[in-house]
């Protein structure tokens, strides 16, 4: 993707968000949280998990991969399993002003996928309500996007047209966003000025190019039958696994996640 070359703009602002989403194993509302960072400049932005990026950075070189494996080994042998470095959130969203595109990078199981789409021109409806977030006066706005209705709070006091995930287009920085049903939320918990570079994605050559709908269908296929998907991927090497539930019973169907009817993804229009 062109973004791997062009994304060297300096950010003007760094915003930290907590992402709340349902637990896909139990269906529990707000059952999972992740920490994300938004780096935003005049035209470009990057939304990512700093912990995930750190791990991807290590795994992008032979020396770094060896260091990561040693860190995991030491934590395991020391009985400190909780100290093993783990990813926190799987996706990256990069906005490129040069070609007016969004570039999305994510994983389905162990496979990496990426796709591009035009930067959305969202038909925001701005309301009269206001509230204060992190000391900034924020205004209410709502929009229908990819199958869900979003409610956001943005501040014109920070004139950066950006926000968490793919949300943008209101006249100011989005500090809070939630789906109407409350299943998915982003809440800003820190803002600072910065001159950090908006750097390219690590391991970019390992991502298979696809499109948004195909990606969502592949993700749903994996969650409906993760064991089957893994066996299909590694079947040629003679590897075969079966899922084992907490009761101790073996289940070859791999029903480890709730169905689409119980809880669907952040985008539902696939």
Q: Are the CB atoms for 18 and 72 separated by under 8 Å?
A: no
Q: What is the reported pLDDT for 238?
A: 56
Distance between CA atoms of residues 138 and 252, nearest Å: 50
**Lowest-pLDDT range, 8-12, 17-21, 139-143?**
8-12
- How confident is the model over 33-45, as pLDDT tens digits? 999 999 999 899 9
Confidence of residue 18 (pLDDT cuts 50, 70, 90): very high
- How confident is the model over 77-88, as pLDDT tens digits? 899 888 888 899
Q: Are the CB atoms for 101 and 43 separated by under 8 Å?
A: no
Distance between CA atoms of residues 257 and 270, nearest Å: 18
pTM score over 0.95: no
Distance between CA atoms of residues 138 and 92, nearest Å: 26
Structure tokens at 140: 């209410």
- How confident is the model over 158-192, as pLDDT tens digits? 999 999 999 999 999 999 999 999 999 999 999 99
- How confident is the model over 113-141, as pLDDT tens digits? 999 999 999 999 999 999 999 999 999 99
> Does 237 have pLDDT greater than 60?
no
CA separation (Å) from 29 to 22, 23, 24, 32, 248? 5, 7, 9, 8, 27
> Does 245 have pLDDT greater than 60?
no
β-partners of residue 148 are: 145
Q: What is the reported pLDDT for 242?
A: 57
Q: Are the CB atoms for 164 and 47 separated by under 8 Å?
A: yes
Distance between CA atoms of residues 252 and 226, nearest Å: 10
CA separation (Å) from 208 to 99, 114, 117? 21, 6, 15
**Mean pLDDT across the stretch 257-264?**
95
Q: Are the CB atoms for 162 and 175 separated by under 8 Å?
A: no
Q: First vs last Cα of the chain: how many Å apart? A: 24
């Amino acid at each position: 993707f062109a973004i791997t070359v062009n994304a060297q703009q300096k950010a003007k602002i760094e915003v930290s968000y907590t992402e709340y989403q349902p637990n896909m194993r139990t269906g529990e509302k707000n059952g999972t949280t992740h920490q994300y960072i938004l780096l935003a400049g005049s035209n470009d932005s990057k939304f990512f998990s700093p912990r995930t990026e750190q791990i991807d950075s290590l795994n992008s070189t032979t020396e770094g991969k060896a260091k990561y494996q040693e860190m995991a080994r030491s934590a395991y042998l020391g009985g400190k399993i909780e100290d093993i470095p783990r990813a926190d959130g799987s996706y990256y969203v990069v906005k490129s002003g040069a070609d007016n595109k969004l570039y999305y990078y994510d994983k389905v199981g162990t496979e990496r996928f990426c796709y591009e789409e035009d930067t959305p021109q969202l038909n925001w409806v701005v309301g009269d309500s206001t509230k204060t977030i992190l000391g900034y006066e924020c205004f209410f706005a709502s929009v229908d996007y990819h199958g869900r209705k979003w409610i956001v709070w943005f501040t014109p006091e920070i004139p950066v047209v950006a926000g968490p995930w793919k949300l943008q287009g209101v006249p100011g920085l989005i500090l809070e966003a939630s789906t109407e049903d409350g299943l998915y939320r982003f809440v800003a918990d820190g803002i600072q000025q910065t001159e950090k570079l908006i750097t390219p994605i690590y391991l970019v050559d390992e991502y298979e190019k696809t499109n948004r709908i195909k990606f969502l269908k592949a993700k749903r296929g994996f969650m409906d039958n993760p064991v089957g998907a893994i066996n299909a991927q590694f079947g040629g090497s003679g590897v075969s696994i079966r899922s084992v539930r907490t009761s101790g019973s073996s289940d070859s169907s791999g029903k480890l996640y709730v169905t689409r009817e119980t809880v669907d993804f952040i985008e539902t229009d696939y």
